[in-house]
Amino acid sequence: MVCILASDRSSGEESGSVSSSSSIVFLTPAARAAHLDRRLAELYPETPIPLDHKDAYTLLIAVLLSAQCTDKRVNIQTPGLFAKADNPRDMVKLSVAEIDAHVRPCGLAPRKAQAIHRLSELLLEKHGGEVPRTFEELEALPGVGHKTASVVMSQAFGVPAFPVDTHIHRLAQRWKLTRLGASVEQTERDLKKLFPREHWNALHLRIIYYGREHCSARGCDGMVCALCRELFPERRRAVRVKKV
């Protein structure tokens, strides 16, 4: 990344960033993305998965439960469930009511329990009791949407994916990596274009960590946290982002 003096601003725009006084101004999404990729890697060199699990199946169940629920709450509820059933064969032996008794605090009851029971049946019927390794097969399971499938593909099987949750969707708009008001689907497409494919799996976790710790929905308005100030030192108006 090349930075130039503000007096030479016009000649430096091709590089994507210019210096204005003592600050760097990032003019393009690509320049902002490159800066964020580097800074987030510095802040979070390790990227542990926030949901407690031991294999692809328990990760799948945990991610399903995390819909409209915090990871913290999911991690509180899953040990009791997994003590009784941590694989499809044992899970189908439980009734929906028994599953629901463990996962009801995660919300959307009893639909999550119903989905867990039915997807476990389908894993046995169609996949030999194993979690499938394609987006198409995963998204065909009850309760499994594209985001859930993306998390499983990336974190269980190492396939590059960019799951977009509420934190990533919010920060992508604050950081002008996608347009304000963009859909989740558009945000995912834009982020995949901006960041190297080999960085996606770690990067989506880094953005989540940063969003939770420093650039939360209420704690930052696009002008408070360190990265917002680095990217937009001249920003003077709060960025209002609609919740997913």
Annotated active-site residue in 165, 176, 192, 243: 165
Q: Could you list the beta-strand ranges (E) of the chain.
A: 17-20, 23-26
Which residues lie closer than 8 Å to 205 by C-beta, 6 or more apart? 44, 47, 48, 49, 50
Residues 174, 227: Cα–Cα separation, whole Å: 10
Per the annotation, the verdict on 176 as an active-site residue is no
Annotated active-site residue in 112, 147, 176, 192: 147
Cα within 13 Å of Cα(217), Cβ side: 10
Per the annotation, the verdict on 165 as an active-site residue is yes
Handedness of CA 19, 25, 31, 33 (dihedral sign): positive
Residues 71, 52: Cα–Cα separation, whole Å: 9
Q: Which residues are catalytic?
A: 147, 165
